[in-house]
Structure 1
Amino acid sequence: MGMEWPPASAQQRKAAVVGSRSAAVLKLGLLVILAGLALRLLVGPAAYLLPPTAAPEGPARHVAAPGRETTRGGAGDVMPSGEFAVTGSESLADSDNRQGSPETQESCNLFHGEWVPNPVGPAYTNASCHFIESPQNCMANGRPDTNYLYWRWKPYGCEVPPFDGKKFLDGMQGKHWALIGDSILRNHVQSLLCLLSKVEDANEVYHDDTFRSRRWHFHSHNFTVSLIWAPFLIQAKIFEDDDGVSTADPQLYLDVLETNWTSQWEGFDYVVISTGQWFFKSAVYWENGAEVGCHSCQNKNLKEMPPEYSFRKALNTAFQFITSSPHKPVVFYRTWAPSHFENGEWFSGGTCNRTVPFKPGEAGDREMDSKMWRIEREAFESAVANKGPDDADHLKLLDTFELSLLRPDGHSGPYRTYHPYEKGMTAKVQNDCLHWCLPGPIDAWNDIIMQMLAKD
């Protein structure tokens, strides 16, 4: 679990170094040491997503990082425009020194751990990165607390070094990355562009009419990043405006993929792909060209089917394409992104007002989140079992579920819009407890991708 073992007593230390002690005392000291080593071997890292009954030993969890306060002014300077400046940085040498031995890193589960205080702060700010879109620009929108910026993801037994933009771009000369999915992928790509902008700013070279699918190019490195809008991955007819208001039930074709990403597949070298929360919407399901049922749809003559059904079908359709395609880019499947609405949903007054991460085990019963996450893992494991010999290690699980679940403090909340309480704290506002503030917890996803690439 990464816990520190208590130091030996003064008598034990003395017995270990003074050779004049009797053989019996020396033997007793050796037995104590061997018993301690045996105990450490028995008490290994906890099973995946089985958190300890108490938080592992280490820095205090529910306090601001050293020298930081939880209100504006304590963590940096808030500029008149709402921009946020952070001073101080960590050298690459320091990050390299924290990585541990290759053996430790190789056996470490990057996705099982906790969030620990990080006095260094974020790698970029809304003052230094212009790729942050307004709904995720929490500081510019007036979020008063800043403690959520001062945490880093710490797997048990190893470290995840900060994202190294120069190493990443140098290694991606002439490559094409695609991020395929819903608005969480849009959130993710903003984080990636901000981290890379410390080395080189990207130029936008394409966008569709809705700006949901976009492409950027890093000229100096001939590196391309594409964002492809495919919220279900499968083919879908959607009748919804930007405010989430639908005029008709979406039509989902569970056995047909969206061609906007499959038609470009052969041009991708690396892919981050995911889907998720859209499957909770009411929808009509189609298979083999016929309606087979629906979820909470208006047509009561159709069989009611749970969202888990369409989710599983869509994943299996996508994985079947990925593993059977002769073109083999490196594919990261990113797991479920949990929301943290409390006291209601996004449409019924739900909020997310927490200002610190959950401790391990503190997130509570998340039955539906856990169910969808298990479906993803089952579909992924089935795809891995069925992949051909040419697939090698091209299909990877980017399992960000646990580390995301522990960060209820990292969402935009009411600060998805500019100064929502300008007319008073009693103003009625809509909260966003699904997408992430930038900078914020989602930056750790890119840190982990960098580490997964380094392992290979």
Structure 2
Amino acid sequence: MGKMLNDFGLFGCAVLVLFLLLLHHEDQHCFAEVPENNKVNESQIGRKCDLFEGSWVYDETYPLYDTSNCPFINTEFDCQKNGRPDNQYLKYRWKPKGCALPRFNGQDLLRRFKGKKILFVGDSLSFNQWQSLRCMLHAAVPNTNYTLSSKGALSTFLLPEYEVSVMFSRDKFLVDLIKTKQGMVLNLDSIGNGNSWKGYDMLIFNTWHWWLHKGRNQPWDYIESGGKILKDMDRLAAFREGLTTWSRWVDSNVDANKTRVFFQGISPVHYNGKEWDDKNSANCRGQTQPVSGSTYPGGSPPAATVVNEVLTKMSYPVTLLDITLLSQLRKDGHPSLYGIDGKKGNDCSHWCLAGVPDTWNELFYAILVTK
């Protein structure tokens, strides 16, 4: 009898050890490297996986790069250099629910896109993501030569060894902002810059941040809609109309066999603590941890619904980089007082680098290597 109990005890211990190993393997699987053959199949990520549902987990291996070693990061995003006293916000990794998210591999991305041109088009949130990707690629190949150049609204980051160009074109609305005798007119029905978006292997668009600006921060004096000149209109309706014009341009001008198109999605702001059930916080100032869990109390912003509705109606298969929820959970990720304006401003719109935009690029990479 004693021998049986002893054998059972040994068996139980073995089962427990195996169970713990499986748990460890599962957690590591969500942190998987891309294999040497550069192939990641559906089973590695999950057949019914939504990369954009999940939660943030603390991870000492983050961030993916040290901003002090990124030679071209802009001051407004370098929160540590600007004196931010905490650094836990750098240590969070996005963990999709039930998914295996491949670890970002900059060398692999550069090999895949050798000889290719990638263009980000949009506002300062697009610039935020472009800056992040430059730092991530530089960290992957720190000894590789690169060139930086700017011409008008176009900025180019070129890695000659890989013949890869990662560019950014500043375009706040995607539709035209035209100077007239009467003032600046936002034309919701025309895209004059479209020709400069042609000929790229990949396009990543965004817009929304500037559509709500009023007063001195509003860059236009009038809106043109359907041939009518208006002093103002419902901003969400204007956004829908402008985005629909952009969608028609993509449908008519982009060949899906030659160019892949992404839309960045809506990057949230954190100017109201009630949105994350914190009545004592007016905004993102002093926030040092993400919202826990996988839901945001404030719900999805109406602009995100507009984006989904417009993309659904398109004939071109645009890939939505649905960053909204995962970014809503990161009330701690903004520059706040540690941006370009220092103590004169409180930036709860843009993001510190290293930080949340790195995750946008991790998800961008995950989509590229799995589909």
> Which TM bucket (shorter chain)?
0.7 to 0.9
Give the equivalent residue in structure 2 for 1:281.
213
Alignment pair present for 1:396 and 2:319 = yes
Asked if the contact 2:176–2:186 (Cα under 8 Å) also holds between the matched residues in 1, the reply is yes
Cα offset for 1:442?
1.0
Give the equivalent residue in structure 2 for 1:319.
247
CA deviation vs aligned residue, 1:254-295 (integer Å, no higher than 9, x gap): 000141xx112331110110101211024521034430x343
Asked if the contact 2:284–2:332 (Cα under 8 Å) also holds between the matched residues in 1, the reply is no
Asked if the contact 2:82–2:338 (Cα under 8 Å) also holds between the matched residues in 1, the reply is yes
SS in 2 for 1:411: coil
In structure 1, distance between residues paired with 2:155 and 2:190: 23
Which of 432, 441, 444 pairs up with 2:359? Answer: 444
In structure 2, distance between residues paired with 1:177 and 1:361: 31
Give the equivalent residue in structure 1 for 2:263.
333
Asked if the contact 2:188–2:224 (Cα under 8 Å) also holds between the matched residues in 1, the reply is yes
Give the 3 Å change call, closer, same or farther, for CA 362–203 of structure 1 in structure 2. Answer: same
Cα offset for 1:361?
6.0
In structure 2, distance between residues paired with 1:157 and 1:238: 50
Give the equivalent residue in structure 1 for 2:279.
none
Give the equivalent residue in structure 1 for 2:289.
356
Q: Which amino acid aligns with 1:124?
A: Y
Give the equivalent residue in structure 1 for 2:199.
267
In structure 1, distance between residues paired with 2:367 and 2:294: 26
In structure 2, distance between residues paired with 1:180 and 1:379: 18
Q: Which has the larger radius of gyration?
A: 1
Q: Unpaired segments of 5 or more residues in structure 2?
A: 13-22, 215-219, 275-281
Cα offset for 1:395?
1.8
Greater RCO structure (CA 8 Å; 6+ sep): 2
In structure 1, distance between residues paired with 2:253 and 2:327: 31
Alignment pair present for 1:410 and 2:304 = no
Give the 3 Å change call, closer, same or farther, for CA 437–274 of structure 1 in structure 2. Answer: same
Cα offset for 1:125?
1.0
CA deviation vs aligned residue, 1:117-162 (integer Å, no higher than 9, x gap): 1111211111211121000000000000000011000110013222
Q: What is the TM-score normalised by the length of structure 1?
A: 0.66
1:227-242 matches, within 5 Å, as 227-237=168-178
Give the equivalent residue in structure 2 for 1:131.
72
Asked if the contact 2:33–2:105 (Cα under 8 Å) also holds between the matched residues in 1, the reply is no
CA deviation vs aligned residue, 1:405-426 (integer Å, no higher than 9, x gap): 11010110000148x4xxxxxx
Identity %, equivalent residues: 28
Give the 3 Å change call, closer, same or farther, for CA 103–410 of structure 1 in structure 2. Answer: closer
SS in 1 for 2:211: helix
Asked if the contact 1:236–1:258 (Cα under 8 Å) also holds between the matched residues in 2, the reply is no
Q: Which amino acid aligns with 1:439?
A: A
SS in 1 for 2:293: coil
Asked if the contact 1:117–1:151 (Cα under 8 Å) also holds between the matched residues in 2, the reply is yes
Q: Which amino acid aligns with 1:443?
A: D
Give the 3 Å change call, closer, same or farther, for CA 206–115 of structure 1 in structure 2. Answer: same
Cα offset for 1:111?
0.5
In structure 2, distance between residues paired with 1:275 and 1:249: 22
SS in 1 for 2:356: coil
Give the 3 Å change call, closer, same or farther, for CA 356–226 of structure 1 in structure 2. Answer: same
Cα offset for 1:441?
1.1
Which of 263, 272, 289 pairs up with 1:342? Answer: 272
